[in-house]
Structure 1
Amino acid sequence: MTFIDYSNEEKSNKSSATKEEKATTTLPEDASQWGYDMYPERKGTSSGPYKKSRSITDYLSGKGRDNIDKIRCERNVYKCVKESPLVKLMMGALRSSGCGLDIRRHIACEECAPQVSGGYDPIMNQVIVCHNTAKNEGIVQGVLTHELIHMFDYCRNDLDFKNLDHLACTEIRAANLAHCSFMSAWMSGNASVFNIKETHQDCVKSKALSSVLAARSGISKTEAINAIERVFPKCYPDLEPIGRRLRRNSYDMYKAYEEGYYYGYDIP
């Protein structure tokens, strides 16, 4: 899932530092239209533009315990950065594209609305991992892979999140590379051995649709579907930087990691 970029400057320089220089810390007037209502810590006012204040009632009701979840989330993020082939591949691809990633600056564990597990904020060029919903290492790995694909597209492809077709394209790519597999469709009862290709494409479209609608509450479902269908023939075959569609319970992510060297990615 993504937010909308409200920076009006051109994306001519691809470095991560330049991205951050362009970013503004002023939230859009109607933040809910662009998905910020699902990330309350992005629109608070306590000690910074994205800090959320807590009352004593919050702590007495148990909400203060989210610090424990946040620490657990940060540990899972660190473990994924050190050990996950997919996360290391994405970080290497970003570095090789001139957009190095510092986990202290570019990844944040925050409390989110219960229907989301992560997001990408192009205003801050930052991945959000929702510590109240992404509670184990496997989910955190999926969130990081998905959102780092958005960061990669923003870095490499002049992505404009205000453009609905651009948003649809990056959501298609993230669903294609980080989520959908024949096995997951099979387990949900939507696949057969006769329609593997069609089922995967349907999964990608469905996942992209839900993400687009979450990021752009101001558009209709029909508008989102039309945008996905317009860009699907171009965006679905684009497998960079992972290079393959990952099958569940396979060694595909390890193969993708090994193949990253052949593409010149700076992988640790």
Structure 2
Amino acid sequence: MSESTSTATASDPASLKGFTWWRRKITYQTGLGLTPEAKLQFETDLTIKTREEDCARCYTYRDQMMQTSPIVRFMLENAQKVGANISDANIVCDYCPELMGGGFHPELGIVLCQNRILSKTHLEDTLTHELVHAFDHNKFNVDWLDLRHHACSEIRASTLSGECRLWNEIKKTGFGGFGRKFQTCVKRRAAISVAANPNCKDKEQAERVVDEVFESCFKDTRPFDEVYK
């Protein structure tokens, strides 16, 4: 193999597979025989390769959930019924620098943060959460800059998506406060989202707004008949 061919291969993440990739990784970790330029190139390749793998995995999970998940299919159907323009065309995977699993934009659709998705179940919960926002936006004409509107949709999304299911909370926080774990999780997640709203002053205001609307929004399970914890 010529030097020019070797250089081209080294800079092409798609070609770095199997033994070749791991040999380079070990070389990088040990630092043996690695020039500063080669180290920089490896870091670049690693970033690109990781993002490509995360993206492919995210889209595979998305497609599987849209085809087989009862809750995703149910929410997608009901969001579309109330006028949400949501389909696989605008449910996209992308890299997110923020600590978030996904996001909804009324005009652009839904983003799934490929670098934050931990499993198929995590993606299922995240996609369902964002589909609740899509449903709410069209059903209730949500003003996302109104903190009470925002808080209500976040409460509903965390309640209905499954992300606060009891076993998840027990694994995170133990058995203490068993009877209130579900509600505590919903409030916590809603307050974190509201705190990021540009019209929210601070964490304390977010928590206060969530508390103000919690009872009525927590009880509103539309389009579901009830919530399974």
Q: Tell whether 2:81 aligns with 1:96.
A: yes
In the aligned structure 2, how far is the partner of 1:63 from the partner of 1:215? 30
- Tell me how many residue pairs correspond in the alignment: 187
Identity within the alignment, %: 27
Residue 240 in structure 1 maps to residue 222 in structure 2: yes
Task: Answer yes or no: is 1:69 the counterpart of 2:54.
Answer: yes
Aligned to 2:19: none
User: Which of 173, 186, 208 is equivalent to 1:204?
Assistant: 186
Unaligned runs of at least 5 residues, structure 1? 1-55, 248-268
Higher relative contact order (CA 8 A, sep 6+): 1
Aligned partner of 2:174 among 178, 184, 189? 189
In structure 2, the residue matched to 1:139 is 122
Kept in 2: contact 1:119–1:147 (CA 8 A): yes
Does the CA contact (< 8 Å) of 1:73 and 1:109 recur in 2?
yes
Structure 2 vs 1, CA of residues 169 and 219 (structure 1 numbering), >3 Å: closer, same or farther? Answer: same
Structure 2: gaps spanning 5 or more residues: 1-39
Q: Distance in 2 between matches of 1:216 and 1:209?
A: 13
- Matched residue type, 2:158: A
Name the TM-score, length of structure 2 as normaliser.
Answer: 0.74
Instruction: Tell me the SS of whatever aligns to 1:241.
Output: coil
Q: Which residue of 144, 148, 158 maps to 2:141?
A: 158
Work out the CA distance in 2 between the residues paired with 1:245 and 1:191: 22
8 Å CA contact 2:192, 2:206 repeated in 1: no
User: Residues 112 and 228 of structure 1: is their aligned pair in 2 closer, same or farther, counting only changes over 3 Å?
Assistant: same
Shift of 1:58: 9.9
The question of whether the paired residues in 2 share the 8 Å contact of 1:182 and 1:191 is answered with no
Q: Which residue in 2 is equivalent to 1:112?
A: 96
Q: CA deviation at 1:201?
A: 1.7
- Do the aligned partners of 2:192 and 2:203 also contact (CA within 8 Å) in 1? no
Residues 117 and 130 in structure 1, CA contact (< 8 A), matched pair in contact too: yes
For residue 231 of structure 1, what is the amino acid of its counterpart?
V
- CA deviation profile, 1:6-31 (whole Å, cap 9, x unmatched): xxxxxxxxxxxxxxxxxxxxxxxxxx
Contact 2:156-2:221 at 8 Å conserved across structures: yes
Matched, 1:82 2:64: no
- State the Cα distance separating 1:203 from its structure 2 match: 1.8
**Residues 199, 60 of structure 1: alpha-carbon distance in 2 compared, 3 angstrom cutoff:** closer
The answer to whether the 8 Å contact 1:90/1:145 transfers is: yes
Structure 1 residue identity aligned to 2:186: V
Number of the residue aligned with 1:30: none
Judge conservation of contact 2:101–2:113 (CA < 8 Å) in 1: yes
Kindly indicate which of the two structures has a greater share of residues assigned to helix: 2
**One-letter identity of the residue aligned with 1:97:** V
Q: 8 Å contact 1:93–1:241 — kept in the other structure?
A: yes
Cα distance in 2 for residues equivalent to 1:72 and 1:210: 27
Given the superposition, is the C-alpha separation of residues 172 and 68 from structure 1 closer, same or farther in structure 2, using an over 3 Å criterion? Answer: same
CA deviations on 1:147-189 (whole Å, 9 max, x unpaired) are 1111110011010001011111111111111222333333322
One-letter amino acid of the counterpart of residue 148, structure 2: D
- CA drift of 1:123 comes to 4.0
TM-score (normalised: structure 1): 0.64
In our comparison, the structure showing a higher alpha carbon Rg is: 2
Give the 3-state SS of the residue equivalent to 2:164 in structure 1. Answer: coil
